[in-house]
Amino acid sequence: MPVCLGRWKLVAVACAVARNARNFVNILAVDPSASVGGAQLSLLDVLVGLQARGHSILLAAPPNGNLLAAAAARGIRTEIWNLPHSLRRAGQYTNRLALLLSVLGAIRVLWSLAGIARRHHSHVVYSNGIKSHILTGLLRLFLWRPLVWHVRDFVSHRAIARLLFPLARITRISVIANSRAVAAEWHRRGVPAIVVHNGFHFQPQRNAEKNSGRLQLLTAGVLSAWKGFDIVLRACSFLPEHLGWQLTICGGEIYETDGHLGERKRLEQLAEELAIANQVTFTGMVEDLGPYFQKSDILLHGSVRPEPFGRVVAEAMLAGVPVIASRGGGIPEIIRAGIDGLLYPMGNAQELCNAICCLAEDTSRRSAMGKTARARILADFSLDGKIDRIEQILITSS
C-alpha cells in the first residue's frame, strides 16, 4: 500500500509540473502597424510584462517603421512580417475595389504568418490591430490555432471590419476590448468580449503649479482628422485676448492608410487662418510625453468620434495634469466629470473654449483636479492588474 501511494504521489507531482510548464506559453503577437502609436505602446507594455512572467514572446510586424526597434529595445524578440504596400494603405477611406484587391493579395501574407507561427511553436496568437485581426481570423479558418484579438477600435462603421463579427462567432476567437464602450459593440453582434482597460506604470507626478506667465496647453496623439486637433485650434482661437496661452501639439502622421496623410499641413494652414500660428508649436510624434506633461497646465483632447479608450488622457491624469476631454466612447470610463477632469460635447469648440477658461482662471481647482486624477489612475488602471487579466485569457485560450 505505501508503495502504491508513493507511485500516485509521483504521478500527482508529475501532473502538477506539467500543468505549471503548460502555463508558460509561446505567444506570437502580431501588429499590422510599422510605427509606434498609442495602441502599440499599450501592446509593448503588455508583452514586456508577460515576458517577465516567463512566457516566450515573439512580435511580428512590418519593418518600415520604429515598432520593431522599440520592441527590441525592450528585450522582446521580433520578426519581420511583410505586408504589401496595397494592404498597408487599405483602410476605411480606400475605395471598395482597391480594398478587395488588397484582401485578395493577402494570401502570401497569410502563408508567411503561418510560417512564423510554426517556427515559433506558438501556443496562441495575440493580435493587435484591425488588419491583423482580419488576417489572423482568416488564417484560423485553415490553421486551427488558438487566437486572441485585443480590440482597441470601434469597427461597425468600417465595411471590411464587419468581417470580424462572423469570424469571431464561427471560429470562437477570444476577444479582449479596451473599454466597456468597445465591448458593447461586440456584445450587440453576439460576440462576448472581455473588458481589460489599458494599464499604466507608476510615473512621478509633475511639479506643483509653477506657471507664472502664459497658460501652457498641450494636446497629443496621431495626426488624423478624427482626432479633432482642428477643434482644439478653433477653441484656442476663441480664448479671450487677456488670457495669454501657448499650445503644443505632439503628434505625427504614423499611418500609411488612405485618408490619413497631409493632416499636419492642414492643421498648420488652419492655425494661420485663425491668426494663432505664433502661439502653436508642432513637435512631431513623441514617444515619451513625460517632459511635456511636466511643463503643461492643461491637456486638451479633441476627438470628434468616440474614442475607444484614450491613452493620452490617462497618461496625463497619471502625471497629475488636469484634462479637458470630449465626451464619448471610453473617455467617461476614465474621467469622472468634474472630479478627475472636465468633459465637453464632442466636436463643440465653443464648449471646449469655455472649459479652458474655467480651469485657466482657477489654479487651485487645476491643482486639486490633477491630484484626484492621478489617484484615480493609480487605483484603477494599474498595469500589473491588467496584465494579470490578459495573461489568464491567453493561458486559458492556449
Q: What is the pLDDT of residues 355-392, one digit of tens each?
A: 999 999 899 999 999 999 999 999 999 999 999 999 99
pLDDT digits (tens, 9 = 90+) for 221-233: 999 999 999 999 9
Q: Which three three-digit cell numbers place residue 73?
A: 529595445
| Residue 9 pLDDT class (50, 70, 90 cuts) | very low
Average pLDDT over every residue of 89-101: 55
How far, in Å, are 42, 139, 143, 330, 384 from residue 121 at the CA level?
A: 25, 16, 13, 36, 27
Range(s) within the chain of domains with CATH label 3.40.50.2000: 23-199+382-397, 215-380
| Residue 3 pLDDT class (50, 70, 90 cuts) | very low
Instruction: Give DSSP secondary structure letters for 279-294.
Output: GEEEEE--S--HHHHH
Spatial strand order of the sheet with 147-151 comes to 77-80, 56-61, 26-30, 124-128, 147-151, 174-177, 194-195
CATH for 23-199+382-397 (3.40.50.2000, 3.90.1150.10, 3.40.1000.10, 3.40.1390.20): 3.40.50.2000
The class (CATH top level) of 215-380 is: alpha beta
Share of the chain above pLDDT 70, in %: 85
Is residue 125 within 8 Å of 117, Cβ to Cβ?
yes
- Residue type, position 49, single letter: G
At 104 the pLDDT is: 61
DSSP 243: S
Compute the distance between CA of residue 181 and CA of residue 176 in angstroms, rounded to an integer. Answer: 12
At 17 the pLDDT is: 44
Q: pTM for this structure?
A: 0.87
How far, in Å, are 231, 276, 314, 376 from residue 183 at the CA level?
A: 27, 40, 19, 22
At 86 the pLDDT is: 60
At 248 the pLDDT is: 98
Chain mean pLDDT for the chain: 87
pLDDT digits (tens, 9 = 90+) for 36-58: 989 999 999 999 999 999 999 99
pLDDT digits (tens, 9 = 90+) for 56-94: 999 999 998 899 999 999 999 999 998 776 665 655 555
DSSP E strand boundaries for the chain: 26-30, 56-61, 77-80, 124-128, 147-151, 174-177, 194-195, 215-220, 245-250, 280-284, 298-300, 323-327, 342-345
| Residue 156 pLDDT class (50, 70, 90 cuts) | confident
Compute the distance between CA of residue 82 and CA of residue 255 in angstroms, rounded to an integer. Answer: 16
At 55 the pLDDT is: 97
Is residue 111 within 8 Å of 274, Cβ to Cβ?
no
Is residue 258 within 8 Å of 90, Cβ to Cβ?
yes
Average pLDDT over every residue of 243-253: 93
Beta bridge partners of 247: 217, 280
